[in-house]
Copies of this chain bind each other. A is one copy, B any other.
Amino acid sequence: MGSTPPADNLVTENPDHVHIMPPDDVHVICPTDYFSGPGKKVLLLLNQEIKLPVAAVQQVWDASQLRICADGGANQLYEYSLKHGLDWLPDFVIGDLDSLRPEVSIFYKSKGVKVKQQASQYYSDLDKAITLSNLALLDPTINLDDYDDYDGVSKHEESVTDTIQDKVSVFMMGSIGGRFDHTVSTISKLIKLHHTRPNFQFIVRNSEYNEYILFIPKGRNFVTLLQEKEYHRGEKLVKGKLPLVGLLPLACPVRLSTSGLKWDVTNWESSIEGKVSANNLLVGDNGFLVDTTGPIFVNIEI
């Protein structure tokens, strides 16, 4: 790649407002579709303190058809509910349950929440929660007592031949920003899930900072926080601070081309061992286009 002419590897600085409309054939990634777009909606809570305001969590809670705590994620929901006087109950608590506190387990069981141990260490708690999401969407009357406490739920899924035809959006809280191996495991898992569960889309919410972390597949993608009906027709909107955006080549080295960022790139080599466009800004009025030769992650400020 060292022989690429410099003109192929451009960075262009844009003004603070650029009109961008998504082409018809582009893959649209819109995390706010979770709140009113089509498809199934699943909230996964992992074991990290929930530090967001109630209104923000409530919006996600209300939009979800299924709410699952992965192991100690139940502790976090319990603490958050206590602190804010909420009576929210998840549909399921699942995992090896080595982190679930006894009083939390007793409390949720007493309220009728299904708390299911899956002791196997072959699968992570996140794996187990995603498997259960799929099964519970396929069969809302699923009875987890039918499956053993070791890896019965995962084994059952292997025997199921039905698949969900709808798009499934999974909103993950508590999976980025705490223990560093948890963060890296989440990233690694999202790369693999793109292949193993192609109809699932994952929205990761930083539990502390106002940003989404999104998996962007190879190809042409349009990343936006607006739903289609909200697209602007070229007018300049009064806006505050430009939202921060990072283009993060965590899976493999890539070449990127973008439109709608303050520093747009064209056929730009990016890798974790080389150049990374962090600290970029969104200037596209409706979002930005990113064409990538391999999967990347994007963080975008809310």
- By a CB distance below 8 angstroms, the chain B residues around A206 are 179-180
Whether A272 and B188, one on each chain, are in contact in the complex, defined by CB atoms closer than 8 angstroms, is: yes
- By a CB distance below 8 angstroms, the chain B residues around A124 are 279
- By a CB distance below 8 angstroms, the chain B residues around A191 are 272-273
- By a CB distance below 8 angstroms, the chain B residues around A276 are 181, 184-185, 188
Whether A180 and B213, one on each chain, are in contact in the complex, defined by CB atoms closer than 8 angstroms, is: yes
How far does the alpha carbon of A228 sit from the alpha carbon of B248 in the complex, in Å? Answer: 39
Whether B273 and A181, one on each chain, are in contact in the complex, defined by CB atoms closer than 8 angstroms, is: no
- Per-residue contact bits, chain A 230-252, to B (CB 8 Å; 1 contact, 0 not): 00000000000000111010111
How far does the alpha carbon of A177 sit from the alpha carbon of B175 in the complex, in Å? Answer: 11
Whether B278 and A251, one on each chain, are in contact in the complex, defined by CB atoms closer than 8 angstroms, is: no
Chain A interface residue count: which class? 20 to 34
Whether A299 and B180, one on each chain, are in contact in the complex, defined by CB atoms closer than 8 angstroms, is: yes
The number of times this chain is found in the oligomer is 2
In chain B, what residue has the closest Cβ to A181?
Answer: B246
How far does the alpha carbon of A211 sit from the alpha carbon of B183 in the complex, in Å? Answer: 13
Q: Which of B178, B250, B278 contacts A177 (CB 8 A)?
A: B178
- By a CB distance below 8 angstroms, the chain B residues around A273 are 188, 191-192, 251-252
Q: What are 13 A-B contacts defined by CB distance under 8 Å?
A: A177-B178, A178-B208, A179-B206, A180-B209, A180-B248, A180-B299, A181-B246, A182-B278, A184-B246, A185-B246, A185-B276, A187-B272, A191-B273
